Each structure stands twice: as C-alpha cells, then as structure tokens.
A and B are shown apart, each in its own frame.
Chain A
Amino acid sequence: MGLKQNLHKIKMKYEGKKMAPAFNAIHTFLYSPNETTHSGSHIRAVDDLKRTMNTVIIALVPCLIFGIFNAGYQHYAAVDAVNNISRELSIWGNFITWENFSLGAWKVIPLVVVSYGVGLLVEFIFAVIKGHEVEEGYLVTGMLVPLIVPVDIPLWMLAVAVVFGVVIGKEVFGGTGMNILNPALTIRAFLFFAYPTWMSGDKVWVAEAVERAGTNDAISGETLLGSYAQNQDVITSFSDMFWGYIPGSVGETSKFLIIIGALFLIFTKIGSWRIMLSTVLGAVVMGLMFNGVVDAGWISESSKFYGLMSIPYWQHLIIGSILFGAVYMATDPVTASQTNKGKWIYGFLIGFIAIMIRVFNPAYPEGVFLAILLMNVFAPTIDHYVVQGNVKKRLKRLKVKTA
C-alpha cells in the first residue's frame, strides 16, 4: 500500500468532519484525487490553479538560489571593502562558493520557512473555519515574500506581516481570487510602514550590517538607489547591476535571471507579456522625462532629486526592483487588469508611477511596490472603462448598420 492509498484512507476517515479540508489539501497537493467527474462534457486541460502556481514557483527558484549566494557574497564584499581589500568578482572564484552559500542559506532559508509556515497555517485555519478547500494561492505568495524583503529582517516581524497580509490582504475579501491587493506586496507594505528601520536605510540590505553598526567592524549595507538618492557617486559597473551582484532585497537583484524567468512565464503563457512590456515602457518614458528635465537645466546639481533624476533612463531598469515587480508582481492574474487594452494601461502606469515615486520619495528611494499596490486598486476601474468603451463602439457600429 502506497502513500497515496494511506492518504486517501485518512481522508475518507475525516470526510465531513471539520478538519477534512486540511487533509484534503495535503492529499491533492501530492496526488490527483481518487474521485473524478465521469459524465458530462468537460474541457480537459492540465493548467489548473496548482499547475499555474507551480510554474511561477519554478520561475522564481533561480532568483532564490541566486539570492542565497548573493546574500553571502555581499556580506563578504562589504567586509572586504571596510578592510580595504580590493575584490575582483569571479563567478567560480568568489561568488559560487561554499562560504557564500552557507551564510546566505543560513539567512534566507529561515525566511522561506517562516513565510510558508505561517502563511499556510493561516490558510489552513481559515479553510477549517469556513469549511472550504485549502486554496493554492499562498504557494506563490509564500515564495515571493522572502525574495522581496531585506535579508536581515527579524523573523517574528515577517511572521506578523504574513499573518496581516494573508488575513487583511486576502481572507477578508473571500480568499484566493477575490483579493483586491497583491498579498505579497501587502505583506511588504505592512513591514515597510510598521518597521521602517528594518525596511529602509543604509544598513539592512547586507547581511549582518545592522549587528555590526556602531562597532569597529561596521560595514555598509546601502543599495545603489540609496547612494544615488544621496547624490553620491556610484562606481558599480553596469554589468554587475545587470547580473545582480549588488545589494538589495533577497531575490530582486539579478536582472538576467528575472528576464529568464519572464521568458519562461511568457512561453508557458502564465504571465502576461503585455503587462511586463508596458511596465518597462512606462518606466522608460518616466525616466526619459526626468533626463529631459536634467538636460534642460531646470534642476541644479544641489537639488536633492538630482542624483536620481540624472540616472540615464535605461539604467533605472537595472537598479532597484522594477523588473522583478513587472515580471512577478504586476502580472498577478487576480489583481491585474483583465482586458488586453486595460493591461497596457495598467502596466504603463505602474512603470510610470514607480519611477516617479522612486525619484520623489524623500524617505525611501524605491516605489515599485507602492506603484503596483496603487494600480491594483485602479485595475477594476480601468477594466470598467475599457469594457464600456467597447460597448459604445459596438453600439455605434450597430446604429450605422441599421440606419
């Protein structure tokens, strides 16, 4: 008797009882259920919700693995920088090393465990109370959350934020598929407003920078955007920014792996290429406008916005989290616009507003998560006007025909 039979037996034993959804979830996560529909006509397709979610997770795994190595690498690079040891990056020499991996894994794996553990616990509790099946919605959220937080965030804060995000961001609206806001970004927004000292500033982005602050071993934990915002010179090469050897949230640094993930999502038809492309377009347009302002000389070098405004428009795409947001966050099928025209507008405004907030936000030089949350709220409005516009167009056509 295999595991499947045992699970099925347990399930039958609890059938109709309160805990049934919990056992059912474990069973269907591993195997297809024993009872299937036999009669009637059905469209047979393999891409159910679980398959969709798993595809996104596969697209995220490279980012996670890179994030683990990068967490270690950034830590040792920062230590070397303090000790005036110059460091030349070589992928096999000092990036993919056991040293980096062990430190990174020690920091990042607990984030993943807490995110999944707490989030799924909340989902299970709600499924049992409401008496419905456990929904798969949290599988992707649980993976996204560790990738969009600073590496040193205390685990209990993450746990509190996950409870808040899942309950307020999702369950109060009726669970997966009914939420207005992206739950992963709700979690990040909660952390950002509740514990700003752990989510912004020049210490949190490199492992152990907070613990070392104020001591002789103090290391810098600043992101590139932070340096730009303070009008400092940035010496990081563009290739480092593109490949992702820079400090930042755990999984958002490697633009190369994000683009690979984006291609994978587009190829499997899980993610919307319209949203991804239009978000990038929006960011480019806003970046060009800021560059235009600088070129026209409307803003002097002493202005506090000068540093971020003078970044060439294309460089906005390879620093910060705009690409990660565009590929994995903005495309969330529940909270994005549903109509094709709406997707263009929705994505364009995300990119446009994200760069605008990035430049003008005095407290925090990044705005991708705020921009996406804002557009999440407006997505139904955009859809409404797109649909109404279409209705009007067709009515007009009808009139012309009948007249």
Chain B
Amino acid sequence: MGLLSKKDQKLILDPLADDNPITIQVLGICSALAITAQLKASIVMAISVIFVLGIGNVVISLMRNIIPSKIRIIVQLIVVATLVIIVDQVLKAYAYTLSKELSVFVGLIITNCIIMGRFEAFALGNGPWRSFLDGIGNALGYGVILIIVGFFRELLGSGTLLGIKVLGDPIELTGLYKYGYENNGFMLLSPMALIVVGLIIWVQRSRNKALIEEN
C-alpha cells in the first residue's frame, strides 16, 4: 500500500487482527449475536457499519474542536442517528425484504458500542483522514468476524450460503441429506453465535500468545 504511510496502514490493519473490536475488545457483541444467522444479513450489516463508522468518524473529527465536551455524547448520537437513518431508508428503498429481516437491528446500529467507542477514543483526538481510516479499519474488523460467524451459522444451521442450497435439499433429500445429515437447529439460536465467537477468540489467542491476558 504505497498510498498510506506505515502509521496509517496500522490504523486499518490492526483492527482486522490483533486489535479486533469483537474478539479482542469484545465490543459490538449484541449485534454479532442477533443478525448472524444468515450470511447475507451479516454482509449487509457489515457494509452498513462500515458506512456509518467511516463517515461518522470524519464528521466527528471535523467538529471535534467546536463540540462542547459536556454535550459531546448527544452530538455524537445525533451524527450516528442521522447516518443510520440514511442506511435504513436506503435499505427500505432498494432491499425491502432484507430490511425486514434485519428489522430493528439496523436502527440499533446507533447503540453499537464500537461506533461510540471509536468516536470517543479516536475521532475526538485525530484529524479527519486518520479518523476515516480508523473508522474503516474497525468496521472492517467487525465485519470480518460477522461474516465468519454468519458463514458457519448459515452453513451448519440452514445448509445454505447466501440462500443457495450448498449441502443439498433437506426436503427432497439430495446431496448430504441423502446420507441422513440434518441441519443443526442450535446454530440458528443466539447462544451458538456466542459460542462461535468464543471459538474464534480461542483460535486467535492460541495462534498469537501475546494476546492472552495475565490474571
């Protein structure tokens, strides 16, 4: 990446792995559990959060010197709410069924801890370009985990990927189902999403021992 300096590269790449918002900071868990039963919903959620966090970080960063610190949370909320409403309206206009599926969770991006966290921790103290990269990086890190969880939950829970029946038809008994395979209903329930996230954390920490906390 010749475009970016080393420091800027770190802003994007760190949240993807060693400083991942979900698996390391354990933020944004609620939405990761709620909407990952389908891969498509995970992808749309990831894109929405990339949009909201990327733009939001820039806006907050531009206003950082004029926001009175006593009311900064309210200002931040207004910025997120505006962006989320844009996302919500776009989804309703161009992908109505999907927006029905995501239902309340698009609106709940406002309460996603990652977003407020990045505003507070980064955008309030850095310039717009660096804030933009930080927002994109963190949202990507969030999205990657969402998509991994969504992939396993949809594959094992419904036997499909993006709605395509990759394992065969459970009713006509083709593919794997011919041999007595059955979908794992537990995968569609939220507790299993938590366990999948836990397994990802496990794999990540056993590959990189530096991440294991002392206690």
Contacts and interface: CB of A to CB of B under 8 A. Distances in A.
Interface of A: 154, 156-157, 160, 168, 172, 190, 193-198
B188 to A, nearest CB: 9
Interface in B175-215: 180-182, 184-187, 189, 195, 198, 202
B40 to A, nearest CB: 23
Given A168-B195, A172-B202, A154 B180 contact: yes
Given A154-B180, A168-B195, A194 B202 contact: no
Interface of B: 180-182, 184-187, 189, 195, 198, 202
A158 to B, nearest CB: 13
B98 to A, nearest CB: 27
14 contacts: A156-B180, A156-B181, A157-B182, A168-B195, A172-B202, A190-B186, A193-B186, A194-B184, A194-B186, A195-B184, A195-B185, A196-B185, A197-B182, A198-B182
Q: Is the interface of A mostly helix, strand, loop or mixed?
A: helix
Contact of B189 (A172, A193, A195): A193
Of B180, B184, B187, B198, most A-chain CB atoms within 10 Å: B184
A197 B189 CA distance: 16
Given A194-B184, A194-B185, A194-B186, 20 more contacts: A154-B180, A154-B182, A156-B180, A156-B181, A157-B182, A160-B184, A168-B195, A172-B198, A172-B202, A190-B186, A193-B185, A193-B186, A193-B189, A194-B187, A195-B182, A195-B184, A195-B185, A196-B185, A197-B182, A198-B182
B175 to A, nearest CB: 16
Closest CB pairs A-B (n = 9):
A194-B186, A193-B186, A194-B184, A194-B185, A154-B180, A195-B182, A196-B185, A168-B195, A193-B189
Nearest to A168: B195
Contacts of A156: 180-181
A154 B198 CA distance: 28
A157 B181 CA distance: 9
Contacts of B202: 172
A197 B180 CA distance: 13
Contacts of B186: 190, 193-194
Nearest to B181: A156
A194 B185 CA distance: 4
Contacts of A172: 198, 202
Contacts of A196: 185
B38 to A, nearest CB: 18
A145 B189 CA distance: 23
A260 B128 CA distance: 75
Nearest to B187: A194
Contacts of B180: 154, 156
A196 B188 CA distance: 13
A228 to B, nearest CB: 25
A172 B202 CA distance: 9
A172 B182 CA distance: 26
Contacts of B182: 154, 157, 195, 197-198
Nearest to B191: A193
A172 B199 CA distance: 10
A193 B115 CA distance: 34
Contacts of A190: 186
B149 to A, nearest CB: 16
Contacts of A193: 185-186, 189
Of A154, A190, A193, A197, most B-chain CB atoms within 10 Å: A193
A19 to B, nearest CB: 20
A195 B157 CA distance: 10
Contacts of A194: 184-187
Nearest to A197: B182
A172 B203 CA distance: 12
Nearest to A193: B186
A195 B186 CA distance: 8
A204 to B, nearest CB: 13
Nearest to A198: B182
